[in-house]
Amino acid sequence: MTSTENSDDIRGLPARAAALDLLSAALSRRAGLDEGLSHPALAALEPRDRAFARALAMATLRWLGPIDAALHARLKKPPPERIVNVLRLGAAQLLVLKTPAHAAVGATVDLAAAQKGGQAFKGLVNAVLRGFTREPPDLNDPGLMAPTWLAMRWRSAYGAEAADAIAALIGEEPATDVTPQDGADAEALAVDLEGSVLPGRSVRSGLKGEVSGWPGFDDGRWWVQDASAAIPARLARVGAGRTALDMCAAPGGKTLQLAAAGAKVTAVDRSAGRIKRVSENLARTGLGAEVVIADAGEWKDERTFDAVLLDAPCSATGTFRRHPDLLWVASPAEIPKLAQVQAKLLDSAAKRTAPGGRLVYCVCSLEWEEGEGQMDAFLARHKDFALEPMAPGEGGAPEASLRPDGTLRILPNHVEGGTDGFYVARLRKGA
């Protein structure tokens, strides 16, 4: 948990109001948090207020399960959702950020009063939060960190011990991983970023704050990419003169990796806004790729490629370290729907893979239907493909992640300090 150390970290009502808007947006829909973070109202705040609002919203989302359990124990009748979110923020200030009680309670009561109809709930907010100061609840129950349906899935798939280890990472603020454009630059970059070199030559930075101000950003020496997300492109094993297709390419980390390896890369994504980021990153790093705005499943292009990389749209439950909101807006019903999308994209990827070429499929999901189940079904449909097993540690993958069939099931607890959860399969198409 994070501790605020002095009064400079205790922000006023505007910052808390912004945090309330962020929390409400994050819990209302997918991408709600990202939309809230880019809202002009947040940008209009002073930098310290903006940073506090973001930190408070993220702390609340990371510890939402235990916070809600603690609130449930003290609320005989739930107040309106807006006031519940006010209480969640107040609890996070007291129990996670360790804001002094007088500041946390007083400001949260004021925030409640500022809401429509909120005057009637000032006493309730004050009483609940004062109760937390007298008898602080224990938030450290891994069984409460994720929604029950997800926790049960993880226990069934990976066992109780692994599920608890995964859940324990939900509350931790992750470090930032970056991929050097030149792997030989990793050690020097680790020094500049006050970090360490991970297997595969990713660098885990020790710096905080806006990455655009970090050494080497403007020079294009590196790009932000979780260590797990950097593994699939390495497994494609492309080099100079080879052709590579990055399907669903945005925000572009894998495109950059393939281009840096010397491949002739085509990057496809259906979102014009998201693929703009791919072009911006290519320009910053000085790397080149053909950029196409299209639905990768419907793209009218008859070319085939030596390597095809499909990082498919998925439930993204493996990315909770940076996107804890996704745990609370995901639902069991969306998983089979996403699996249908993935199957369609895999079929498209199959026809775009040249004979003898490689197809690398990955999802940042912890769910069987989007990983192992998806690959079983693909191999049943496409007899001209076979798995090409990975070697232990290949591509920088944790050895604990290697499955008996040579695919990868990367769990967040497989790397010290945490990593994104991924499923990765590499296939070879018959000549």
Phi, psi (rounded to 5 degrees) for 326: -60, -30
Catalytic-role residue among 248, 314, 362, 364: 364
Structure tokens at 387: 């798995």
First to last CA, the chain: 54
One-letter identity of residue 111: L
Q: Alpha-carbon distance 290 to 279, whole Å?
A: 9
User: Catalytic site residue 362?
Assistant: no
Phi, psi (rounded to 5 degrees) for 242: -90, 155
Classify the C-alpha dihedral 327-267-236-305 as positive or negative: positive
One-letter identity of residue 102: H
Q: Are 412 and 421 in contact (CB under 8 A)?
A: yes
Q: Alpha-carbon distance 338 to 12, whole Å?
A: 42
Cα→Cα distances 24→47, 50, 329, 378, 385, Å: 21, 16, 12, 39, 46
Q: Are 68 and 328 in contact (CB under 8 A)?
A: no
Q: CA 303, 306, 308 angle in degrees (round to 5)?
A: 80
Q: Are 370 and 407 in contact (CB under 8 A)?
A: no
Instruction: Give the contacts of 188 (CB within 8 A, at least 6 positions apart).
Output: none
Q: Are 294 and 319 in contact (CB under 8 A)?
A: no
The SS3 of residue 228 is coil
Reference 67, options 93, 36, 49; nearest CA is 93
What is the three-state SS of 94-144?
Answer: HHCCCCCHHHHHHHHHHHHHCCCCHHHHHHHHHHHHHHHHHCCCCCCCHHH
Answer whether the bond into residue 251 is a cis peptide, omega within 30°. yes
Q: Alpha-carbon distance 431 to 428, whole Å?
A: 9
Q: Which residues are catalytic?
A: 364
